[in-house]
Amino acid sequence: MISKTLFDDGSHRWIVLARDPDRKDSVIDTNEYLIVSNGEAILLDPGGTEIFPSVLRTVAKLIDLEQLKAFFASHQDPDIMSSLPLWMGLCDEAKTFMPWIWQGFIAHFGVEYVERFIPLPDEGGAVPIGTRGRTLTAVPAHYCHASGNFSVYDPHAKILFSGDIGAALLPEDETSLFVEDFDRHVGYMRGFHQRWMPSNEAKNRWVRRVRKLDVQMLCPQHGAIFQGEQVGRFLDWFEGLEVGLDGFQAGSTLA
Ligand code: FE
């Protein structure tokens, strides 16, 4: 699995974990994000059970597992968090931040870890990385696509983890971690957003919210990362897209 540093100022570092070569074709490809801040770490959307060994191997090369103080689950989908009980079993003091609405559902993956769940209210709020690390902000992204859903903003690194927003399903020959040709990339993400985002109003609320932030890098859970002026281009494109039932065509697939 590839790991690449996205930001590093010496005490605060973002690393993307992606493109697991051992992943079976039947399992959707995912990106995981590790943030190490003043020696403490959080893993955003730790991934599905199927890729847990690869993610664990990669994380263990980067940090000591005792440094992992928190996990973040943007929503309840298995591709982003079914590995959570395995992680919480390994890191027996780490907490997991998640939308409050999903805690009773996520508990079905491992009820013994519920005491370390930190439910986030609908308005979002602070996501601290341990006690010494910097604090991130959960940004509401409800109905984009899950009914309780958050993006995560890091005001220090100016990076937004956008979850399924900005996701793309890439063909095999598109191996770059970063968006290289925005116009071509639209073809890999249009169908996904039209089908998986149920509400134009919810989408536009999220766009308005994100426009108020200084975002230098927009990091989705699937596909490639948007940098610099591509962030604004993505927001413009997403704002103009008809999603949900308005853009629905029966049988339209993910890409
Ligand atoms: Fe999802």
Residues of the chain with pLDDT below 70 are 246-248, 250-255
Rounded distance from Cα 254 to ligand 1 centre (Å): 12
Rounded distance from Cα 38 to ligand 1 centre (Å): 30
Rounded distance from Cα 80 to ligand 1 centre (Å): 7
pLDDT at 245: 79
Query: Residue 199 is encoded by which pair of tokens?
Result: 């509400």
Rounded distance from Cα 132 to ligand 1 centre (Å): 31
Q: In what order do the strands lie in the sheet with 150-154?
A: 125-128, 135-140, 150-154, 159-163, 217-220, 226-227
Residue range 53-65, pLDDT digits in tens? 999 999 999 999 9
pLDDT at 45: 98
pLDDT at 29: 86
Rounded distance from Cα 9 to ligand 1 centre (Å): 31
pLDDT at 247: 60
pLDDT at 160: 98
Environment class of 172 (CB within 10 Å of its CB; exposed 0-12, middle 13-18, buried 19+): exposed
Residue range 1-52, pLDDT digits in tens? 999 999 999 999 999 999 877 777 788 889 999 999 999 999 999 999 999 9
Rounded distance from Cα 77 to ligand 1 centre (Å): 5
Rounded distance from Cα 164 to ligand 1 centre (Å): 6
Rounded distance from Cα 206 to ligand 1 centre (Å): 16
